[in-house]
Structure 1
Amino acid sequence: MLTLRMGLPSLWVREHSSSELNHAADPKDKAKSTDLFTLNYDVAFRIFQIQMPTTTYGVDCAQGYKALMHKVYSDFRSSSSDVPQKVSPRAGRQLRPATLDTASSLNQLNKTSKDNRSPKVTERRSPRSPAPERKRPSRISELESQISQLKEDLKVVRNQLGVSESCKKQAQQEAQESKNQLSSLSAKLEDSQQKLFQFSASEQARVIELQRTIQEHDKAWQCELKDAQKKLSDNTAALTSAIDEIQQLKVQLELVANCENAHTQIAESSDVELLNLKDNLAESLSLVENMKNQLRDSKESAQAQALVNETLRQLETAKRTVEFLRADAAKAVHGYNSASLELDQSRARVNSLETLVSKLEFGLVSNKCNHSLNISDDGNIMEDPSRIEAEIYSLRSAIESAETRYQEEQIQCAVKIRKAYELVELIKSESRQRESELEAELRRKKVDIEELKANLMDKETELQGIVEENEKLNLQLEKCMSSEREVELKKEIEKLEECVAELKANLMDKETTLQSISEENEMVKLEMSKRFAQGGRVREEIEAAKAAEREAVMKLGSVMEDAERSNRKAARVAEQLEASEAANSIIEGELRRLKVQSDQWRKAAEAAAAILSAGNNGKLTERSMSLDNNYNNSIVNNYSPFCEQLDDDFQTKKNVNVLKKFGVLWRKPQK
């Protein structure tokens, strides 16, 4: 509706100028009127382009309006070419500039407005030929047909404008729905974040409890290992003392053998048996060495426990890294929320800019006639408004593309954060499985330690028996040394034989026990080798976990870099919005200038039409006024508020000084 009102003065000038040009006496006046018509046509079409919304319907309306104005202009030129030219008596008149024409036309327009509002109409008789008066009815019929066509075109344009307004309303509804969806999504995100925080807190409590239990188990195992080591040290001391005593006994037995060389063969047999005892003692020494090897194996088990402690420490470091990863993920979520807030602010700015543009478009018509006329500004060059609209459209497209990119980056950041959380959960599950495996291994080691303790107790009892037998042997040797009788020696030899038999039996028992102990040692060695292999696997698994943690840290670093890039892009978008605001302010100033210029051109066209109508005879003025009244009545019925505004503007802008200036400027070229 606003765009069509801007085009009404041009149509009114066309009706008056087409009827008056046919009767113009001076060809220069006719050229002046054609120039005014073309200028008014260009101004009306450009204002129509500025005020029409940038939609497909708006473009169709603009094209239709342009075609219609071209048709009217061609009719106007053909009608002006059909009329025979008359030679004016004024031959030496120069061409007037555009500023003077506009000023004089405004002067004449004010005069005609006074005449139209007064009830008295002065009829002027023209001494011209009756030839053009015959053509007036045909010209009036043509004008009426053109007016009817223009009315139909106006109806079509109104329908198209209604369709465009409905499309705008639908777009606004879709925007509101998208905003509601965004609000619901933000609420869901907040709920998920709260759940994640609660889940992380519960997991931290569980991890702390597991750490406490593991530390308590470690302390208990260390105490047990220390006790076992003390017992082993005591057993080794007892074994060394027994070995020394055995050596002393050997020396004493050798002395007894040397003293009794003169004795009978029974003594020699006793020496042979003593040699056998030496062999048995050597075997006992081998048993002692085996015990030493067992002690070494126990030390190796202590080393395995140290490795287990190291693995536990590594698990603690892995848990700490997991906590750092959680903190980084929380920071990434916080950056995501800040980026979403900045995007909402940018959208609010875009909406405010759109409201400002709509207000400015509405103000183009409402503030048309509130600016004062400045004759010096008529020479300024009017910039093309299509460029302004193109810049606005490019800015809007840039803002939309930036929003889409920003949303895609947010989605990518959310996917990366989810992947990081999944990696953290996998690491947690693997650490739990490893902890359970380590606990099972520690239990097995406890069982092995208890078995070793039982074996040590058996060996201690055997050592005590050996010590008692050695004491008995010492007593017997002392008796043998003190006695000089052979009977006593025989008795002692018999006793020694019995003791040797007992010792042989004991040695046989010890051999069996040694075999069993050696088998057990081999089993223990195999188990220790298996445990060492498992320890290597645990190390490999720990290294793999460390590598996975490093990869997670690298991924989180990349996520943080992406978040920083998104923040930078948001800052760039904000700068672009500020630049668009500055460009909009510049466009507002240019639109105001265009308003002033369009008002000046419109008033100049009306003044030219008034001048042309004032130069004709009374009958022509009456007919043109009647036709104008009919056309204006139809327009007033459709656009009564605009006509009332024009009447008020003409009443308020009656200035005598301006009229005098226009009269002076009009008379200057006639001198």
Structure 2
Amino acid sequence: MVERPYLLSCSSGSIEAVKARPYPSSNTLPQKDSLCSVFTSCTPQKQETPQKGTPHALQQPKTIATDSTFAYSPIQSNRNPKERSPKVAERRSPRSPASERKRSSRVSELESQVSQLQEDLKKTKDKLTSAKSWKKQAQQEAEDAQKHINALCLKLEASQQQIIAHSCSNETNEDNQHTELSRNQKLTWESDLASAREEIENLKLEIEMVIRSEAEQKNYAESTNIQLQNLKGNLTETLTLVENMKVELQDCKEKEARAKGIVNETLQQLEVAKATVESLRSEHMKASEAYNSVVSELEQSKTRVKQLERLVSKLKDHFSLNLKEQKMQVHHDCGEANELEKVKSLEDLKSPCELMERMKPNSSCQKEAELVMKLKRAEARIEELGVNLIDKETDLQGIVEENERLKLKLENNLSFERESKLEQELKRLMKELSDLKACSVNKEMELHSVLEENQCLKLEIEKRNENANKSNGQLDAAREAMLKVSILMEEVEKSKSRANRVAEQLEAVQASGAEMEGELRRLKVQSDQWRKAAEAAVAMLSLGTNKEFMDRKGSYDRCYNPGKMGSPYGDDGDDDLMKKKNGNVLKKFGGLWKKPQK
């Protein structure tokens, strides 16, 4: 019994079809699939599915929140809290594999429903062909009965002629004494002949009625053949629609594969960008460390310069005191010659000290200049790295936004196209089912009328046979005709047995029609149950997705710590919760599906 749909079409439906469907569906379910989806598509219709004339002359499902769950993006984890934009935090993550599995399962349901509807169509076709064969047999039997009636009429005419000839011979051979008796016999014979002629006329009228009924039956058979041809045309159209739906499903699958490839490429690009960002950050850290080391070296060099300056000042004081003391001693102890020599030696001592003093500031200035150059280079490098970081972060934001837009567009286009197609197919299938029901009812009424006419004809034939038997019993001279009439009666009984067989066959056809009505009612009940189950599942899924979104949002706000930037893929608790919730939803959906038919 019937996706799509459609698909649920068929299921996907969509009951999908089935197709879904949709199912579909599906069907879902189109006409093969639409009957399958009628019922979707089943196209359950699928769904699908289903999507489904579809047994979804069901109410259109309410708008459902997308099954995509909000995930903590790795880009946000690596950024500082000041750099995060509120738009990026509100973006949606790509669809989870669970939602894709649900859609694929809905499409498969719609397709199964579409296949079931196709089987039901085949059964109805077989029943129609059997009814046609029964009608042909009934027509043939009616023709045989007409032939027998014509033969009986001819035999009756021959018997009447024999009776007339016999009466004439009896009149010539009889004596004048029996003239009165002969006259009485003639009167009786004439009355019998008149009654026989009336019966013959009545039989002719009945034959005309039978001919008219045959013509009407032929016209009815032609009309039924035309209707069957129209149904065949509709079936071919439904088959073409099913093929088109299959081609569209393949195109959708190819598009999904392409979209997945694009997503994978973008993910790879994001990973490369993350690696570059990390390398830039490491370079920035190294540059900052080098800058700090250079600053520390400068401070150390400054401290050394100060220490050297202090030493130089001390040495100057010490040398000046020594010179004064030596001069005083030279004036007192030695002569002028010795004083000159000492003065020269002191000047020689002054020159290396001065050289030392000159060398020290020169070396300190060179070191300071080199350190300043290194600092400038490090600052320029740091500025370049910062600019590169900003550019790459903007590029990453643009790529992420484009990916999210593409994903949303793909998801919306695929979901709306499948659901609309499965729903249209279900509507078509429902219309076809209603037409088939009306045709079956009309055919049953016509069969009832034909049976009643046959019964009336049988009663009239029996009455006439009784009258003929009475008239033949009164005629002693027409015993031979009575024998012939008995033979004719046997043939009439055979025709009656045939008529009874025809009546039994017609009753069997009526029983098959009643079974068809029961099957159609069951299909209606099943379509209603599938619709209710689909609506309940949709409501449960929408509630589950909303709760998951709120839970995840709270968990991300708790887990986010700007001091410790961890990987976004380390938490497996959300995946476990998703699995548990999906399992509960599937159990509830299975319970609704397994409810017994009323």
Given the two structures, how large is their TM-score scaled by the length of structure 2?
0.44
Higher-Rg member (1/2): 1
If asked which structure has higher relative contact order (CA below 8 Å, sep 6+), I would say 1
Given the two structures, how large is their TM-score scaled by the length of structure 1?
0.39
